[in-house]
């Protein structure tokens, strides 16, 4: 168990603001962030993630391995939320099942950063295109989650065909923001894009800290939802990442021989989003309870991955050349 790596990630200022939000709620503080402010920050985070991913794609030279890597990432981000939704729906509401499935089909940027530190400790590198893979894996999971919620929502039963559901899923504000930003980042002139870099990059962590502060307060206020599902939610938050990480570590060997890239695929597949998906679901599925999927992703999956998960995925890759 790498306690040093665990300490480095849990001492990240943005995560500490999440803890501050929990403390503020427990102490019944009157600390409050206006709803319109949080909505703006949610859209900003989606915009920044999408734009930076498009820029990474634009700067790299396309090879067959990069193309296959992008397709593999998209497949992971589409299949994982689809099949997990039906498992989760047996115990949870349609809204909660869709949000949790989207969170586990999407990725955690903070876990990705932790994985780079792990590789550095092993004196290994990974391809720059993996950053673009990470960005591309954000939106498919959100789209699949929204589509499944809309399709199985009893209030919409019989009112919308699948074509209408797909159209609404892609035109949903949060989905459109991240996909549109990715396309804009891809086609933007590099010199012109530098002009908005201070907005897309330099202030990102500050807005993220405020967003996680509010998420901490929401999580603490609604933690009863997590306790409601008890052992099932906790077991899923640990076992699902293990399954996804091990499978990605093995399957990625058919795409690339790079240990660093395979390790990153395993980490991306096993991580759960507590930034992009909560930001999207607050807009797309307000009935989904963040007091369920945020504690699962941040309280169980994240610490598991940075302690036990990463060494496990690395060992699997070493055993399956």
Looking at residue 173, its pLDDT comes to: 74
* Residue 134 contacts residue 271 (beta carbons within 8 Å): no
Q: Give the other-Cβ count within 10 Å of 88's Cβ.
A: 25
Looking at residue 5, its pLDDT comes to: 47
Q: 93: Cβ–Cβ under 8 A, 6 or more apart, which residues?
A: 287
Q: Report the range out of 15-24, 113-122, 277-286, 298-307 with the highest average pLDDT.
A: 15-24
What does the DSSP 8-state code read for residue 155? G
Read off the tokens for 204. Answer: 């990102």
d(CA 13, CA 15): 5
Looking at residue 211, its pLDDT comes to: 84
Q: What is the DSSP string of 101-170?
A: HHHHHS--HHHHHHHHHHHHHTT----THHHHHHHHTHHHHHHHHHHHHHHH-GGGTTT--HHHHHHHHH
Q: H/E element holding 101?
A: helix 94-105
Whether residue 260 has pLDDT greater than 90 = yes
- CA angle in degrees (0–180, nearest 5) for 252-253-255: 65
Q: What is the DSSP string of 245-313?
A: HHHHHHHGGGT---HHHHHHHHHHHH---SSHHHHHHHHH-TTS-HHHHHIIIIIIIHHHIIIIIHHHH
Whether residue 155 has pLDDT greater than 70 = no
Comparison of pLDDT for 24 and 50, the residue scoring more: 24
Q: What is the DSSP string of 163-193?
A: HHHHHHHHHSHHHHHHHHHHHHHHHS-HHHH
φ, ψ at 285 (rounded to 5°) = -140, 70
Whether residue 4 has pLDDT greater than 70 = no
Looking at residue 156, its pLDDT comes to: 57
Average of per-residue pLDDT across 263-281? 88
% of the chain residues with pLDDT over 90: 30
HSE-CB of 304 using CA atoms within 13 angstroms: 22
Whether residue 292 has pLDDT greater than 50 = yes
What average pLDDT does the chain have?
84
* Residue 116 contacts residue 312 (beta carbons within 8 Å): no
Q: CATH code for 3-8+35-319?
A: 1.20.1530.20
d(CA 174, CA 280): 5
């Amino acid at each position: 168990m790498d306690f040093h790596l665990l300490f480095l990630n849990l001492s990240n200022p943005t995560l500490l603001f999440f803890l501050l939000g929990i403390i503020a709620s427990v102490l019944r503080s009157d600390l409050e962030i206006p709803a319109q402010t949080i909505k703006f920050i949610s859209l900003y985070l989606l915009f920044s993630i999408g734009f930076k991913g498009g820029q990474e794609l634009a700067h790299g030279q396309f090879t067959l391995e990069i193309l296959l890597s992008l397709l593999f990432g998209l497949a992971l981000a589409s299949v994982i939320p689809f099949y997990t939704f039906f498992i989760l729906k047996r115990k949870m509401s349609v809204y909660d099942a869709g949000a949790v499935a989207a969170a586990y089909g999407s990725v955690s940027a903070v876990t990705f950063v932790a994985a780079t530190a792990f590789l550095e400790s092993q004196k290994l590198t990974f391809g720059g295109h993996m950053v673009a893979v990470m960005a591309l894996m954000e939106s498919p999971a959100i789209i699949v989650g929204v589509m499944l919620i809309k399709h199985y929502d009893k209030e919409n039963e019989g009112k919308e065909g699948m074509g209408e559901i797909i159209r609404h899923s892609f035109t949903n504000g949060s989905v459109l923001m991240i996909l549109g930003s990715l396309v804009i980042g891809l086609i933007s002139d590099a010199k012109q894009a530098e002009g908005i870099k201070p907005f897309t990059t330099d202030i990102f962590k500050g807005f993220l800290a405020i967003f996680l502060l509010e998420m901490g307060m929401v999580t603490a206020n609604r933690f009863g939802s997590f306790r409601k599902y008890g052992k099932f939610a906790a077991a899923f938050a640990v076992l699902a990442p293990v399954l996804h990480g091990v499978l990605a570590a093995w399957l990625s060997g058919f795409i690339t021989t790079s240990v660093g890239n395979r390790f990153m695929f395993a980490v991306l597949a096993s991580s759960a989003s507590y930034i992009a998906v909560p930001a999207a679901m607050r807009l797309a599925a307000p009935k989904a309870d963040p007091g369920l999927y945020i504690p699962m992703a941040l309280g169980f999956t994240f610490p598991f991955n940075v302690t036990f998960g990463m060494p496990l995925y690395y060992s699997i890759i070493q055993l399956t050349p």
